[in-house]
Amino acid sequence: EAERPTAAKSSASAEPVTHDITSKLKYLFGRNGDYTNADAYQGTAWSVREKLIDSFNKTHEHWKKEDPKFIYYLSAEFLMGRSLTNTVYNLGIEGEYGAALRDLGYQMEKVADAERDAALGNGGLGRLAACFLDSMATLDLPGWGYGIRYKYGMFKQGLKNGYQVEMPDIWLTKGNPWEVKRDDIKFEVGFGGRVERKKVNGKEMTVWTPSEKVVAQAYDNPIPGYATPTTSNLRLWDAVPIHEFDLGAFNAGDYDRAMLERERAEGISAVLYPNDSTPEGKELRLKQQYFFVCASLQDVMSRFRAVHGSNWEALPEKACFQLNDTHPTIAVAELMRLLVDVEGLEWDAAWTITTKCLNYTNHTVMPEALEKWPVKVMAKMLPRHMEIIEVINEGWTKWLGVHLKDLKSEERAQKIAAMSIIHANPWNADEMLVNMAYLAVVGSSAVNGVAAIHSNIVKDEILNDFYQIFPSKFQNKTNGVTPRRWLAWCNPELAALITEALGSSEWINDTEKLAGLRAFASDPAFQAKWSAVKKAKKAKLAELIKKIHGDDVNQNALFDIQIKRIHEYKRQYLNVLSIIWRYKQLKKMTPEQRKAAVPRVCVIGGKAASAYDMAKRIIRLVTAVGDVINKDPETKDYLRLYFLPDYNVSLAETIIPAAELSQHISTAGTEASGTSNMKFQMNGCLIIGTWDGANIEIAEETGVENVFVFGVRAEEINQLRKDRKNFKTDPRWDELMKDIEGGMFGDKDYFKPLVDSVNNMKVGNDWFLLANDFAGYLAAQEEVDATYKDQSEWLRRSIMYTAGSGKFSSDRTIREYAEDIWHVKPARPSA
Ligand code: 26M
């Protein structure tokens, strides 16, 4: 096994650690020898936990003393994955722990494999939050994440006869060594009830009396920075019934009611909504959002009060909140309520503080993904917040009237209606909706998109009316990923080679240094070493494929990967069509001709939202095509297609280092950024992709000539959609449609809606323009083959990708947020 680069070289002997691990097993779990890997994991994790808590305590003592401004990252999702390896590497104690496990007869890698993922997120948005925490800690920025401690995270995906099945993610049953329950930190959160005006101490006040109350219980998840003594925090809230803390009110007759109350309370933090980009207007979801926002704001304000009393005007100098999409946007109304109703501030003073404290990040352009809550639902669940939003909206629309006074009155009225936070449902004029994105923009200091093209779309299309009024509010913050988890720790072999070439491991927290690899890109000796690492990682993935599917794959084949949530806009379907086309071409060849073909192993992975019917059909198409191709004796040496079930963070850590080609082929203008593209790039994986999201910036950094770019551009989309019926499909496309419709892969009734969704050239069909990009995509795939045949050129490009990935460290992203939006500064405790 390759030696991992490390910050703190530990020379300490393994012995005390060995003892610690076995004593944890003995006294916490009653085990005495004969441990499984899962046991060894528990012992190791509970031992590491103590180091983590020491570091956490030091950091927080320091921050308490210094009282710096804090950034609070409010997010309904944190997709953390596993913690053991990340923790030991970030703390620089992997030497002692690796040695201790070896002494006991275990391998760190196998032991680490026993950990369950913390999958408290759907996909990109949740994983971004996790990368941001890593970077905030690494940069010594005083900052916490705040979210929900879901009892069940993202569902586990299984396959049954090739169809997706969903299973609950039961992740907490064996205990969680990475969290610390804070029995002393809990806040009440109310719902429903009534609102009254009352005189309190001679002052006219608004009093909200909720009809339902729950308690938010804090759990802290320490977040170790890399090569720094800083360990910050992710505070997650668990919902518990209020009467557990009020036994007096819990007399015998109340027993049944109390038990129902428990169920209702626990329901709030029970399950992550497994829906990426299409919010259902489920009331429980709004309840979750308010639940964690309310608890988090109370928590921050109580800490502020302990130091600064009720000097709330100074709150923006000490606290800043980033809203991760609109999910926590109720914070605008909640902060107003806490300042006005609870603290007794004047409305205008409270509004100034609120807008100074909040900032909003948009993560999606899909119109159906923009959250809107029916006024009826909100008024019932959060009556005071609904009032506050109405008052905000009155002030806002009045202000707009003055601001737009030069417009003709009709035009002005139209603009104001279009920008109203509360507006009619366009599909149902009787229903009024609260537009959460509008509320977030009006209530925030800064609004940002997550890649250059996306931020432009936010400014020019999605929120253009607002941009015209507040141009300086709008910013871009191109996403990034942590180079620790996504290169150094998941690909230690490549990391060691990079460190050897660059002469130091400084690139791990200064990724711009990776540019130094460009000097080696054409060096045959270096290419040979680079290629050997990729081969080793491919062997690991091949092992996994063997385990799951029972097949041996050709390890000299090109490993071609598409892993991400299954969505029509991400166009896994287009990928499958090109695979079918490749298969048909191979079938037509003579055995001699086939020998000249570039063999490929195609892998597709990702979850479909449980109610997303079309996405589930796409998964079935992948498995059905795989069933035919993988068994065909004529072609199976040249082409395979595997669907890898239950794609998650840990699986990504195995797949990405092994990938040679990765696919990021969304319709231009639909993928806000993408972040796995950055992970692949760091690991020297070539990209076939559209001119979309962060692909564009990745191509710029890597050299556009090194990327397989195809497809229409974002500016053309609207027109092409209008012209749909005039589009003449490629004859190869027509052939493939007939093949699927005709039952070449079985299940033809089930696939019919898939064919119909793209194949009827009328306005509104093939919304994501697969047919338009089909020919360009096939051409780009041919270019991939030609390039792969020239291994030295392929390897040169591969090295250029890693060399060009410096920009996509989340350290860079977080530095930009800290400087341009948060105005927080590093505060590092002494070692
Ligand atoms: C909303 C309401 C109810 C249930 C779920 C949701 C919901 C959850 C996640 C809506 C959207 C969600 O995620 C959107 C998302 O993941 N966006 C992705 O964000 C990444 C990080 O910025 C980008 O890289 C991706 O391009 C973008 O799709």
235, 363, 567, 607: the catalytic one is 363
Q: Which CATH class is domain 67-82+117-479+816-822?
A: alpha beta
Residue 362 Cβ contacting ligand 1 at under 6 Å = no
Write down the pLDDT at residue 4.
43
* Nearest atom in ligand 1 to 123's CA: 16
Write down the pLDDT at residue 33.
83
Q: Is residue 570 among the annotated active site residues? A: yes
* Res 384 pLDDT > 90: yes
> Tokens 């009709």 sit at which residue?
410
Q: How sure is the predictor about 219, in pLDDT bands with cuts at 50, 70 and 90?
A: very high
Residue 276 Cβ contacting ligand 1 at under 6 Å = yes
Query: What would the two tokens of residue 521 be?
Result: 């890109």
675, 690, 802, 813: the catalytic one is 675
Exposure string for 128-160, b = 16+ CB within 10 A, e = fewer: bbbbbbbbbbbbbbbbbbbbbbbbbbbbbbebe
Residue 363 Cβ contacting ligand 1 at under 6 Å = yes
Query: What would the two tokens of residue 280 be?
Result: 């259902």
Task: Supply the pTM of this predicted model.
Answer: 0.97
116, 243, 337, 679: the catalytic one is 679
Query: What residue ranges of the chain are covered by domains with CATH 3.40.50.2000?
Result: 67-82+117-479+816-822, 483-808
**Residue 556 corresponds to which amino acid?**
N
Q: Is residue 454 among the annotated active site residues? A: no
Write down the pLDDT at residue 762.
79
Task: Work out the average pLDDT over 18-39.
Answer: 94
Cβ distance 339 to 354 under 8 Å? yes
Cβ distance 751 to 757 under 8 Å? no
Q: Is residue 679 among the annotated active site residues? A: yes
pLDDT in tens, 110-127: 999 999 999 999 999 999
* Res 10 pLDDT > 70: no
Treating both helix axes as pointing N-terminal to C-terminal, what angle do 347-357 and 383-403 enclose, rounded to 10 degrees?
Answer: 90
CA distance 207 to 200: 9
Task: Work out the average pLDDT over 331-338.
Answer: 99
CA distance 107 to 105: 7
CA distance 667 to 671: 7
Residue 565 Cα to ligand 1 midpoint, Å, equals 10
Q: Closest Cα to atom 14, ligand 1: which residue?
A: 277
Residue 275 Cα to ligand 1 midpoint, Å, equals 8
* Nearest atom in ligand 1 to 122's CA: 9
pLDDT in tens, 660-697: 999 999 999 999 999 999 999 999 999 999 999 999 99
Share of the chain above pLDDT 90, in %: 92
Query: Alpha carbon 512 to chain centroid distance?
Result: 24
Residue 128 Cα to ligand 1 midpoint, Å, equals 10
* Res 465 pLDDT > 90: yes
Q: Closest Cα to atom 1, ligand 1: which residue?
A: 279
Write down the pLDDT at residue 279.
66
Give 255 or 409, the one with higher predicted confidence.
409
Q: How are strands ordered across the β-sheet holding 422-425? A: 372-374, 428-435, 422-425
* Nearest atom in ligand 1 to 280's CA: 3
Residue 326 Cβ contacting ligand 1 at under 6 Å = no
Mapping DSSP onto H, E and C, the string for 464-489 reads HHHHHHCHHHEEECCCCECHHHHHHH
Treating both helix axes as pointing N-terminal to C-terminal, what angle do 613-631 and 748-759 enclose, rounded to 10 degrees?
Answer: 110
CA distance 709 to 690: 6
Q: Look at residue 273 and give its three-state secondary structure.
A: coil
Residue 329 Cβ contacting ligand 1 at under 6 Å = no
Query: Alpha carbon 128 to chain centroid distance?
Result: 4
* Res 1 pLDDT > 50: no
Q: Is residue 564 among the annotated active site residues? A: yes
* Res 253 pLDDT > 80: no
Residue 240 Cα to ligand 1 midpoint, Å, equals 27
pLDDT in tens, 732-757: 999 999 999 999 999 999 999 999 99
User: How high is the mean pLDDT of the chain?
Assistant: 95
Cβ distance 481 to 809 under 8 Å? yes
Task: Work out the average pLDDT over 806-821.
Answer: 99
CATH number of the structural domain 483-808 = 3.40.50.2000
Task: Work out the average pLDDT over 758-775.
Answer: 91
Please name which of 178, 147, 153 lies closest in space to residue 72, comparing C-alpha atoms. 147
- Name the residue of 127, 128, 273, 276 to mutate for ligand 1: max ligand atoms within 8 A of Cβ: 276
Residue 285 Cβ contacting ligand 1 at under 6 Å = yes
Residue 498 Cα to ligand 1 midpoint, Å, equals 33
Q: Closest Cα to atom 5, ligand 1: which residue?
A: 275
* Res 341 pLDDT > 70: yes
* Nearest atom in ligand 1 to 671's CA: 26
CA distance 223 to 231: 5
Q: How sure is the predictor about 205, in pLDDT bands with cuts at 50, 70 and 90?
A: very high
Please name which of 356, 271, 279, 357 lies closest in space to residue 325, comparing C-alpha atoms. 279
pLDDT in tens, 134-177: 999 999 999 999 999 999 999 999 999 999 999 999 999 999 99
Task: Work out the average pLDDT over 519-537.
Answer: 98
> Tokens 């590491």 sit at which residue?
48
Residue 124 Cβ contacting ligand 1 at under 6 Å = yes
Q: State whether the Cα torsion 740-745-748-754 is positive or negative.
A: negative
* Res 14 pLDDT > 90: no
pLDDT in tens, 619-631: 999 999 999 999 9
Write down the pLDDT at residue 245.
52
Residue 404 Cα to ligand 1 midpoint, Å, equals 34
Q: Look at residue 411 and give its three-state secondary structure.
A: helix
Give 279 or 701, the one with higher predicted confidence.
701
